[in-house]
Structures are given as structure tokens and as C-alpha cells.
Homo-oligomer: A and B are copies of this chain.
Amino acid sequence: MAQLSDNIERFIKELMEEDAQIDLRRNELAQHFGCAPSQINYVLATRFSVDHGYIIESRRGGGGYVRIVRMKARSDQSLLNLLLERVGNSITEEASLAIIEQLFERRLVTRNEAMLMRAAVERNALMLPISAKDVLRAAVLRNMLVRVFRNLEEARSHDV
């Protein structure tokens, strides 16, 4: 019944109706709802995860913030989930390259972007015992995939 988390979730989603991206102060928000700051993290983790189509970025220290970015269309988003699942905890070089190729064919990344992704997951980029390579490659690829599906970039092509 109108739980704290639900309220916070609704509040954030209202803020995001206009913009696909917002910045907030974790402590401010917590104070606004009279709860522990870590409660905000809980809401973000359970309702604004990648699975839900959001990406969270943040900065600590003075002037710190929590940024919430809503990713592209739902169709793309389910593709992302599919790919993330496919990658899992471990993936071979061949499978990785296939995924990257697929992204390019679907025009989700440019030729250059695909090239960079390959450079990051290739055998010679991951100088580790073979068994560990696949695990690490999966981690790197997952991180890049999420970024690819991030919305923001074309939306605000100004300011650094």
C-alpha cells in the first residue's frame, strides 16, 4: 500500500516524463522522503535497472549527483536484455564478434564503433590465461553493450 519505494519510484518517473535524463541529489531526495539515503539506491536497483530500461551514473564528492538515463525504445531494450543474457558470465571471442557484427548490421553502432568494440574483446587485448579470458571478455562486453543502448548521446549533442 503506497510503499515508500513505490512513492519514490513514481516521483522519479514523473520527473522523467519530460526528459530522458535527470540528475538528482541522493541525500536531498532521501530527505524529501524522510528516509535513509541508501533507500534511494534500493529503489534505483530494483526499479531503474538495465532490465527496466534505465542506466544509472553517479559521482561522489562535492557537487555529486545521481543521473538516471532512460534508454531507447522498448524493442531495442529487449534486444539488449537478450544480448546480455547471451553474453552471461563468459563468452568466447567468436561469439562476441558475432554479437558486435549483429549490432552493426542493425545499425545500432557505426562501423567505427564496432571496430572499437572488437578491439576491446579480442584475444590479444585480454592478456590472461585462456580460461579467464572468456569471463573477462563477458564483463567488458556487457559494459559496452549497456552503453550502446544508452539513449542520451544523440539527444544532447552539445556540452561536454
Query: A interface vs B, CB < 8 Å?
Result: 1-3, 5-6, 23, 62-63, 65, 110-113, 115-120, 122, 124-128, 135-136, 139-140, 142-144, 146-148, 150-151, 153, 157
Contacts and interface: CB of A to CB of B under 8 A. Distances in A.
Contacts of A63: 1-3, 5-6
A1 B147 CA distance: 23
A85 B77 CA distance: 39
Contact of A1 (B65, B142, B150): B65
Nearest to A65: B1
User: What's the number of copies of this chain in the assembled complex?
Assistant: 2
Contact of A153 (B112, B117, B120, B128): B112
Nearest to A112: B153
A3 B59 CA distance: 12
Most buried by B among A2, A120, A142: A120
Contacts of A62: 3
Contacts of A115: 147, 150-151, 153
Nearest to A127: B139
A133 B117 CA distance: 19
A128 B128 CA distance: 11
A97 to B, nearest CB: 13
Given A6-B63, A112-B113, A143 B119 contact: yes
B136 A120 contact: no
A122 B143 contact: yes
A21 B39 CA distance: 31
A62 B126 CA distance: 27
